[in-house]
Amino acid sequence: MAKLYFYYASMNAGKSATLLQANFNYHERGMRTMLWTAALDDRSIAAEDDLQDSHAIESRIGLHAAAHRFLPETNLFEQVSARHAVQPLSCVMVDEAQFLTPAQVWQCADLADKAGLPVICYGLRTDFRGDLFPGAAVLLGIADNLVELKAVCHCGRKASMNLRVDERGSAVSEGDQTEIGGNERYVALCRRHFSEALGR
């Protein structure tokens, strides 16, 4: 039976690189995949008509792949099912899965349960305040398999939290849940150092 998987971690744990390696393994065996990522980060969108871009999923180590971009209104079950009817797929992979809506997470579950397609989601569990993202919360609740990828805090402990910093490197504790950025905006820390940075 096909399953819904959620690979989660803090930032800089290699989620995108893990997705791209899995995608490579499928292709190496002659299998088709369909990749998705959030349309929130539109800095490199090349084709506005289908929100697909050749570098849509890119890891910090330089790996990249084309992917479709999902918006909150995107019906993943319908889009993937339509592609699957034309060209049978072996797997669906979703990067930045924390940005899925709860309804989209259930659509991913339906792809596994009703269409027989494994769906592997990769994303953050919590935001810069330590709160669950809506998509991550549903994935944690209904995914068949949960896999935590490990990042390392500067102290050597597991980094499970994402600290947002300003341009001076100071901790930020207020703002919108979603703000696109990389190492210049976020630091992966263990819970202890995350709490200390926020003065808790």
Q: What tens digit of pLDDT does each residue of 83-123 get?
A: 999 999 999 999 999 999 999 999 999 999 999 999 999 99
Please give the domain boundaries of the chain with CATH numbers for all domains.
4-150 (3.40.50.300)
Cβ-based neighbours of 73, under 8 Å, separated by 6 or more: none
Q: What tens digit of pLDDT does each residue of 121-179 get?
A: 999 999 888 899 999 999 999 999 999 999 899 999 999 888 888 777 777 777 677 66
Q: What tens digit of pLDDT does each residue of 31-62 get?
A: 999 999 998 765 444 444 445 555 577 777 77
48 is catalytic: no
For the entire predicted model, the pTM comes to 0.86
User: How far separated are the first and last CA of the chain, in Å rounded?
Assistant: 45
Catalytic residue (choose from 96, 174, 184, 196): 96
